[in-house]
A and B are shown apart, each in its own frame.
Chain A
Amino acid sequence: MEGKNLFGEGSAVIYVTRRAEFSASHYYHNPSFTAEENRRVFGKCNNPHGHGHNYTLEVTVGGEIDPATGMVLNITELKRIIESEVLDLMDHKFLNKELLVFAERIPTTENIAVEIWRLLAPKLTFGKLHRVRLYETPDLYVDYFGE
Chain B
Amino acid sequence: MTLYLTRRYRFSASHRLHSGALTEEENARIFGKCNSPYGHGHNYALEVTVAGPVDPATGMVFDLARLDSLVREQVLDTLDHTHLNLDVEAFQRTPPTTENLCVEIYRMLAEPWRRFAVGSSARLKKVRLEETSSNYFECEEP
Contacts and interface: CB of A to CB of B under 8 A. Distances in A.
Contacts of A113: 3
Interface residues of B, number: 18
Interface of A: 28, 30, 32-33, 41-43, 105-111, 113-114, 138-145, 147
Given A106-B59, A113-B3, A140 B54 contact: no
Contact of B64 (A140, A144, A147): A140
B134 interface: no
A140 B3 contact: no
Interface string B78-96: 0000000000000000000
Interface of B: 1-9, 54, 57-61, 63-65
A42 B58 CA distance: 8
Contacts, number: 57
B58 A108 contact: yes
A139 to B, nearest CB: 4
A30 B2 contact: no
Nearest to B45: A139
B50 to A, nearest CB: 10
Given A142-B3, A143-B3, A110 B8 contact: no
A147 B8 contact: no
Contacts of B8: 138-140
B65 A43 contact: yes
A107 B59 contact: yes
